[in-house]
Amino acid sequence: MDSDLATRRKVLIIDDNFDAAETLALLLEAVGYIAVFRTEGACGIALAKEWLPDAILLDIGMPIMDGFEVALALRQCPELDQCRIIALTAWSDQRTVERAASCGFDGHIAKPASLASLVRELER
């Protein structure tokens, strides 16, 4: 295995907007991350448990299972204790930010986000 690949950080994107999630994954790959995405909360949880990402960029406003529910489920997985969960959402009011923190999010970025702000948050 290439030693460079062994040190690259793994990022999982969970967002119901396929195009946005795919584009973000491609951008993160272009700057050196290993990035994959899922468009449903339950599928994202399943992959996170198997793949063990370093960070998860998680949309809050998703159908079926919203980002709050996904974060709470992820925080029940001891194997993901070291994984940073970052909200990447259009919802950025104070109440949402506080609720996200109480559900286990480690950071909060408002959409649309610059690549620089995403990388800064991923590298914390």
Give 10-residue mean pLDDT values along the chain (124 residues).
Answer: 59 98 96 97 98 98 96 97 96 94 96 93 91
Which class is domain 10-122? alpha beta
Model confidence, pTM: 0.93
Q: At residue 91, what is the residue type? A: W
Tell me the domain boundaries of the chain.
Answer: 10-122
Q: Name the β-bridge partners of 85.
A: 56
Exposure of 78 in the CB half-sphere (CA atoms within 13 A): 0
